[in-house]
Amino acid sequence: MSTMVIGYDVEDRTGSDITRRFLSKASELHAELQAPATLFLVGITAENNVEAIQRAKEEAPFELGSHNYSHILLKTLCQVKGDGIVEIAQGGSLGQLVAEVDKANTVLEREFGVKCRAFCSPWGYYRGISDRPDLLHLLHVAGIRVMRTWMRNAQDWIPVDYDVQPFFYEPQGFPDMLEVPVTVRHDCNWPVHYGFEPQEYANPQEFLDYLRSELDYLHERDWLYNAAQHDTTTIEYDPDMVIMRGLIEHARRIGMEVMNFTQYYDKMRASKQ
Ligand SMILES: [Zn+2]
């Protein structure tokens, strides 16, 4: 059965009420549809919203994962934009990253009693962290077993080819660590590539029709749909969450299973044995 996994990056660090508004809407939707999802929390954001996260976790079938403590990148990006201009986004040093990952996990355990197993890297990278066994080791020691880090192509840009499908980091020596790449458009790319500027689609409902066609395409091939959305972008572009509701309902209509990251990990592990 093909699968849709849902992961929200919860990362507003401005001190505004964006995260709380998002959590309230997302809980309502996921509770109503009984649809599992993973909240990948930036540690700082989690510390600023402890009660709202606790409530969301009680109301809806959410699991909590890590999006690093202060959103430091695991790898440096050299993004080649459409006009050929290269932009650099700096990754953290190994020492910084050890501290980041541990600090984020400590927040999850201290505030919510969660031993973190799921990780979403800030920004995402070409080939995930296939080329960085040192980072795999760092995350493995921290207890991470399922991650989404492959979210960019060879230009360090989006999209990733649809046939880049989940895999275990076996050749790197970590056969119990699963990569879950994102191949579909993330919400932060909606406005740039397909969304509301330059007005290719007039509203979330129209854009949803495009996303449904992606869902159909992946389902026909028994490939994964990895839905990646953010607290910030959701509130900015689709505060009523028309798109996520439509995706979940459509996925179920065509016979896809909806899961969070740990559930998907367990399913993949079981099918491996
Ligand atoms: Zn992020």
Question: What is the model's pLDDT at position 3?
Answer: 97
Cα(3) to ligand 1 centroid in Å equals: 23
Which pLDDT score is estimated for 188? 74
Residue with tokens 């990780």, as numbered in its chain: 119
pTM over 0.85: yes
Q: How far is the CA of 75 from the centre of ligand 1 (A)?
A: 13
* pLDDT, tens digit (0-9, with 9 covering 90-100), for 144-200: 999 999 999 999 988 899 999 999 999 999 999 999 999 988 887 776 655 555 567
Helix-helix angle 242-253:18-33, to 10 degrees: 20
**For residues 229 and 254, what is the distance between their CA atoms, to the nearest angstrom?**
22
C-alpha to C-alpha distances, 180 to 53, 61, 79, 80, 225, nearest whole angstrom: 24, 20, 21, 24, 10
**Tens-digit pLDDT profile for residues 116-142:** 999 999 999 999 999 999 999 999 999
Over the stretch 13-39, which tens digit does the pLDDT of each residue have? 999 999 999 999 999 999 999 999 999
pLDDT at position 194, please?
A: 58
* Cα 183 from Cα 191, distance rounded (Å): 17
Cα 273 to ligand 1 centroid, rounded to whole Å: 33
Domains and CATH numbers, the chain: 3-272 (3.20.20.370)
What's the rounded mean pLDDT across residues 189-218?
78
Rounded to the nearest angstrom, the distance between the alpha carbon of 151 and the centre of ligand 1 is 11
Q: DSSP labels for 183-216?
A: -SPPGGGIIIIISTTTTSSSSHHHHHHHHHHHHH
229 alpha carbon – ligand 1 mean position (Å):
9
CA of 44 to the centre of ligand 1 (A): 12
CA 34 to ligand 1 centroid distance, Å: 25
The rounded Å distance from CA 54 to ligand 1 centre is: 21
In 3D, which of 190, 192, 235 has the Cα closest to residue 208? Answer: 190
Give CA–CA dist 197/212, Å, rounded.
Answer: 20
The Å distance, Cα 157 to ligand 1 centre, comes to 15
Q: How far does the centroid of ligand 1 lie from the alpha carbon of residue 192, in Å?
A: 17
147 Cα to the center of ligand 1, angstroms? 13
Q: In this structure, what token pair is assigned to residue 49? A: 């919203």
Q: How far is the CA of 271 from the centre of ligand 1 (A)?
A: 30
Query: Residue 227 C-alpha to ligand 1 middle, in angstroms?
Result: 14
pLDDT digits (tens, 9 = 90+) for 232-269: 999 988 999 999 999 999 999 999 999 999 999 999 99
Predicted pLDDT at 21: 98
C-alpha 181 – ligand 1 centre gap (Å) = 15
Q: Which tokens go with 101? A: 């990952």
CA 40 to centroid of ligand 1, rounded, Å: 9
How far does residue 212's CA lie from ligand 1's centre (Å)? 24
pLDDT of residue 102 exceeding 70: yes
